[in-house]
Amino acid sequence: MSRIGRLLETLAPIGRNEQGGYDRLAWTDADAGMRRWFLAEAASLGLETEVDRNGNLWAHWRRQPGGGLVVGSHLDSVPNGGALDGPLGVASAFAAIRSLKEAGETPASNVAVVAFVDEEGGRFGIACLGSRLMTGALDPDRARALTDREGVRLDDAMRAAGLDPDGLGPDPVRVASITAAVELHVEQGHLPIDGSDAAGLTAADAPLGVLTGIWPHGRWRIDVVGQADHAGTTPMADRDDPVVGAAAVVLAAREAAILEGALATVGRVEVEPGAVNAIAARASLWLDVRGADEGRIRRVVDRIAAAAGVDPVQESWTASMRFARSETRRIAAAVREVTGSEAPALPSGAGHDAGVLQAAGVAAAMLAVRNPTGVSHAPGESADLADIEVGVAVLARLLAGFPASGTATA
């Protein structure tokens, strides 16, 4: 079995649930299992490991003082997520290093494998938490006070996992030491291929693609307050039922997204008190809106606010961003060398730590591995091992060829 096949096999049981999905939420036991896996794999490769002030994991293959090329992704998942979103990038980085070491090849540049903390925001609600803290894009006090559905604070969850949350915050020296960053990631959805009518790598008959940028996207919380009362004694005409208001939000979101050519999702709804025989007091919804440009996203949110008479409160915003041409070109060249074919270029509808690094001025880029169904953030997420192995070979080529000085430009 290939290196990457073996690595993915060792990951497979960690955090898997009965539906075959993954619950690898930040600072949980499953996350601890993923972190142990990272440290053990790094140790087996003779890499020097560290946990930074924000809990991000690093494994260094150092050649000389100074910075270098960073590869990796994240190890956490959304609730009931897929096996590959995140871990594929970290495992592929380790497999690429192993292939170089076994071939007796040593990169000219320093190389570091990173696993950023809580990229999905699946437990505390803010995506790319570890990379945003590191780059100063998220206030550490705000982060410490985030709570999960049980009301557990992030800082308490970190302490329970053995880390000190008082250290959270910007890490400018570390960010400055990153010459360039490449994140390998399973393809998510089938997005339009640049300069083509095809959508997705399967339609383009390509095992790998180069992600050129990330669509803007944001998250909003909407609270609908009503009048709690008895389900069996309150006439319909006398009700102020917040769940009816919540339903109006969901329907308005779908209609607005279709009108504006955007994507709007309400994936989480909380009803209080949540009794079958009581009209609710409050319904809270979390709205995710994305699209090719910021304007259509803002129009969708405005339409929802007007149609449903609610006041969406923005919880996070990711501006539209393009990856560094120096690095997208480098990836494209490596794909050409390894496969003999051109890698299609396409945008990402999903957010990534590489996007946070690029926004912080690090030259970053992404390599996507074909996902036949495009399904992600669900147990059905998949990629063929043959395509994954090509991705590892390209990553190895990038590591081997990255110049010591690093000529990246953000």
Footprint on this chain of ligand HGY (rule: CB under 6 A): 119-120, 127, 350-351
| 387 near Mn ion (CB under 5 A) | no
Long-range CB pairs of 144-151 (<8 Å, 24+ gap) are 144/168, 148/25, 148/123, 148/124, 149/270
**Helix H or strand E segment including 9:** helix 3-11
Bridge partner residues of 222 (DSSP): 285
Nearer to ligand HGY, 381 or 389 (CB): 381
Nearer to ligand HGY, 119 or 260 (CB): 119
User: Residue holding tokens 């960010």?
Assistant: 175
Task: List the single partner that 140 binds among Mn ion, ligand HGY, none, CB under 5 to 8 Å by kind.
Answer: none
Cβ(116)–Cβ(72) under 8 Å? Answer: yes
Q: Report how far apart the first and last C-alpha atoms of the chain are (Å, whole number).
A: 38
Q: Which of 67, 68, 86, 213 binds Mn ion (CB under 5 A)?
A: 86
| 171 near Mn ion (CB under 5 A) | no
Closest CA to 360 of 325, 388, 318: 318
The token pair that represents 341 in the structure block: 């074919």
Nearer to ligand HGY, 120 or 327 (CB): 120
**Helix H or strand E segment including 96:** helix 87-102
CB of 283 to ligand HGY, least distance (A): 23
Nearer to Mn ion, 85 or 118 (CB): 85
How far, in Å, are 88, 104, 191, 398 from residue 330 at the CA level? Answer: 20, 23, 22, 7
Nearer to Mn ion, 83 or 257 (CB): 83
Cβ(344)–Cβ(201) under 8 Å? Answer: yes
Task: List the single partner that 86 binds among ligand HGY, Mn ion, none, CB under 5 to 8 Å by kind.
Answer: Mn ion
Task: List the single partner that 127 binds among Mn ion, ligand HGY, none, CB under 5 to 8 Å by kind.
Answer: ligand HGY
CB of 365 to ligand HGY, least distance (A): 17
CB of 183 to Mn ion, least distance (A): 8
CB of 329 to Mn ion, least distance (A): 23
Cβ(107)–Cβ(11) under 8 Å? Answer: no
| 85 near Mn ion (CB under 5 A) | yes
Helix (H, G, I), strand (E, B), or coil: what is residue 323?
coil
The token pair that represents 100 in the structure block: 């170089």
Total binding residues toward Mn ion, as defined by CB under 5 A: 2
Nearer to ligand HGY, 174 or 290 (CB): 290
Nearest to Mn ion by Cβ — which residue?
85
CB of 378 to Mn ion, least distance (A): 11
Report the interface residues with Mn ion, using CB under 5 A: 85-86
